[in-house]
Amino acid sequence: MTTRKCLPTTEKRNPKSTHIDTLSTLEIVDLINSEDRMVPQAVGTQRESIAAAIDLIVDCFRESGRLFYVGAGTSGRLGVLDASECPPTFGVPPTLVQGIIAGGRRALVRSIEGAEDHPEDGAKAIDKRRVSPKDVVVGLAACGMTPFVRGALRRARQIGAATIFVTCAPEAVKSLTADIIINPVVGPEVITGSTRMKAGTATKLVLNMLTTTAMIKLGKVHGNLMVDLRAVNNKLRDRSARIVMELTHLSRRRAEALLRRAEGKVKAAIVMHFRQVDLPNALRILDECDQFLRKAISI
């Protein structure tokens, strides 16, 4: 008698969608939407683990460490996406948050499914990035079993780096070795095994929380304004001016002139206005205040 292999939740059939191919277009849309509503609630169950992971990442950044996401397929692409958006949004160097995807850059635009099958490749990717004990490595695998990701996390732990694992499969949790495990259980996908759907959405929500909250706690946000953004295009230059106008009540013309004197640095421009100092002194004040604008302009 053979024993049936226990499938992870992410690979099980969803009983609500077994006849999805017989539904009308609107009925399919409604079904997918109803399943998607489960995702935020599932992520919410992991609030304490997410908060603990954020505190770990913040401690890492304060000790000059880096954050690495490691994944394959959809999970890997989401990690690269989150990492790539940190520099323009928060003004951090591109080396601070990095995404590693099985198969390399080519896998970002074309599926290379076999690239995830070798744990030794994950370990090599960690060594290539020169991960150190000061860093944090976050494994991303909807099913929790991806060999590339597990190999990377195993190597990171050997080095002494802090580790976090994000998976939507509760069956995988007991076999995972990481400092923190984040496990939003979103249930089987509408299309069996298509983890680009609910599991992908859950992963994106978790990554949004990790980096956004970490950056807030590092002083990259004042109120809800991204005061450390990099104005690398017209949209962001306009946003920079609007942020300065909002906080200083200056006209657009005067705000733009102030930004030019601040070499485009929003946070420094605001300090220059409130403390009536030049750019070098504004930067010094920010350093003395650990880069927190609220503290820098309230002294």
Catalytic one of 35, 116, 171, 189:
116
The first and second tokens of residue 265, run together, are 């640095």
- For residue 22, CA distances in Å to 11, 72, 221 come to 22, 32, 49
Does residue 85 have an active-site annotation?
A: yes
- In angstroms, rounded to a whole number, what is the distance separating the alpha carbons of residues 128 and 240? 36
Find tokens 């990717």 and name the residue: 125
Does residue 35 have an active-site annotation?
A: no
Backbone angles phi, psi at 161, to 5 degrees: -70, 155
164 forms beta bridges with 138, 180
CA 162 to chain centre: 16
Given a contact cutoff of 8 angstroms between Cβ atoms, the answer to whether 144 and 176 are in contact is yes
The first and second tokens of residue 9, run together, are 């939740």
Helix (H) or strand (E) holding 27: helix 25-36
The first and second tokens of residue 202, run together, are 């859950």
* 3-state SS, residue 165: strand
Catalytic one of 85, 120, 189, 246:
85
The first and second tokens of residue 130, run together, are 């020169």
Q: Which residues are catalytic?
A: 85, 116
